[in-house]
Chain A
């Protein structure tokens, strides 16, 4: 019988990522024992234990350098076989998004992606997730004996439950270089490397009205830096070449979920709203008092962005520690 929750944790330099803290914290509230799995990385049992895991499975070996679908699917399938959980959680990160659907097909489990709520309904873990770019929400249930979910970052608060150190169990998944049908031949830092927008806690986005790449670089980027935020952009700004594709927020860009989203000179088109409407606090700066973005904002300033932003930058530099 499968039972309990297994959390696929991503790490960075031997530490669990914030998304892993969120998932472990949530798992602890859903009932049943919580275990964790780290693939291709080291882990501290005490850290995992603090967030509620009793066991951490690790899978390592020569095949676990850069992320590959083949090695990770095989490894996670092996750990699921050993731990026999009824629920497996992972982050809706670039890795989790690539991994979970294929894993589901491998082990005959239903996979639900990009969920934002999880609850225990009569012993079954049920998800809510945005559909139609967040214009609607749906409840999703999985009928297979193991249910897989990827969770959008920043969906759940972090709680260290104060448990003792988790025991670390190394699993040999029998993965070898021969399993890898893809090879990472090069990794580059992209031109403007920053925190991934989808995981960012604060975002400052600029629209068409920044007028040029220089405008974006001299107004939006420094404002974001002063707030320790990640810069984003509307499609109009991206299509005009003011900001790279990777910065686009919206239906055909990144769907973001920060605590604070500042929209600078963005009108609030339905496709842009689709990407940022779940932000906890939305601030907009726009010279048009009738701009639709104001209807979706917690706070609005009606004024010229070229005077407001430098002043705001100064204030942030003074108060944001």
Chain B
């Protein structure tokens, strides 16, 4: 069974965000890029399936320019065995649907049967692409999982269902699973892994290679349009509470929470 991993590069989590002049996005010149942290859990889960002899190949699938190659290479160094990077000027301005169309087509072309993804990407924070990919492929989805076992074609996943409940969900391949923190601890690349990955080429594919027409992807195919990027308004400056003793400070805090902020 081939396992696919949806991988996105995102600005490192400590990036100080600056908005571009036409407010359509952020300035990327000084940004340090990383693999989306949730995708690292998906990648690790896939590599563990390969190590356990349950996956025959781990295929990294990404939509991105040549600048995304370093992140894909990192994934290969850690143990992925193939990589497809969908890159086409026609994809510029794609929304989640357009990217999902490209990724679903790439997964199909690669012969993937189980697709793992992060539960969300920490740039757009949309958590939209995996569910759309699952719909396009007609596969079941299990989202936000913190436990995963694959046995033959049978999948058992644990997911946080909210309200303090954990659900154990069973399904079968082919399927799309999104991964949360707690699923595993992602590995770093080993020297052996880096040497082995040297022989693996990252395959670039265009929209046409994947049978996608211009109207299906890019700005033309987008149903969702973003604009008006802004930094959040700064918080009004707060008060440091003075008092002779911890008890006195606490009393004053509680008074302020009741009388000034009116939140208790």
Contacts and interface: CB of A to CB of B under 8 A. Distances in A.
Chain B at the A interface: SS class: mixed
Contacts of A303: 246, 249
Nearest to B227: A139
B11 A301 contact: no
A66 interface: yes
Interface string A184-220: 1111111011111011001000000000000000000
Contacts of A159: none
Nearest to B254: A315
Interface string A270-290: 110010011011110000010
Contacts of B128: 101, 104, 111, 113
A201 to B, nearest CB: 9
A301 B246 CA distance: 9
Contact of A137 (B123, B229, B251): B229
20 contacts: A104-B97, A113-B127, A114-B126, A142-B224, A143-B222, A143-B225, A181-B139, A185-B168, A187-B166, A188-B166, A192-B164, A196-B162, A196-B164, A202-B263, A246-B160, A252-B181, A260-B257, A260-B263, A299-B241, A301-B250
Interface string B114-137: 000000001111111111101110
Given A252-B13, A298-B261, A98 B143 contact: yes
Contacts of A252: 13, 37-38, 122, 181
A95 B162 contact: yes
Contact of B165 (A193, A278, A312): A193
B225 A140 contact: yes
A94 to B, nearest CB: 4
B39 to A, nearest CB: 12
Contacts of B241: 299-301
Contacts of A202: 263
Interface in A121-136: 128-136
Interface of B: 11, 13-17, 19, 26, 37-38, 95-97, 100, 122-132, 134-136, 139-144, 146, 156, 160-172, 175, 180-182, 222-232, 235-241, 246-247, 249-251, 253-254, 256-258, 261, 263-264
A131 B20 CA distance: 14
A142 to B, nearest CB: 6
Chain A at the B interface: SS class: mixed
B140 A69 contact: yes
Given A182-B169, A253-B181, A105 B14 contact: no
A311 B263 contact: no
Contacts of A108: 223
A102 interface: yes
Complex A-B, nearest 3 residue pairs according to Cβ-Cβ distance, in ascending order: A110-B223, A193-B164, A139-B228
A53 to B, nearest CB: 23
Contacts, number: 268
B140 A195 contact: no
Contacts of A301: 240-241, 246, 249-250, 253
B81 to A, nearest CB: 27
Contact of A110 (B15, B37, B95, B142): B95
Given A182-B142, A260-B264, A300-B238, A140 B226 contact: yes
A281 B163 contact: no
A129 B223 CA distance: 16
Nearest to B124: A131
A147 B251 CA distance: 49
B13 A251 contact: yes
A195 B163 contact: yes
Contacts of B227: 138-139, 141
B216 to A, nearest CB: 12
Contacts of A302: 240
A193 B226 CA distance: 37
A221 B135 CA distance: 41
B264 A227 contact: yes
Nearest to A238: B181
Contacts of A134: 232
Given A182-B169, A299-B253, A94 B160 contact: yes
Given A113-B127, A132-B17, A316-B254, A299 B232 contact: no
Contact of A181 (B13, B165, B171, B246): B171
A18 interface: no
Nearest to B144: A94
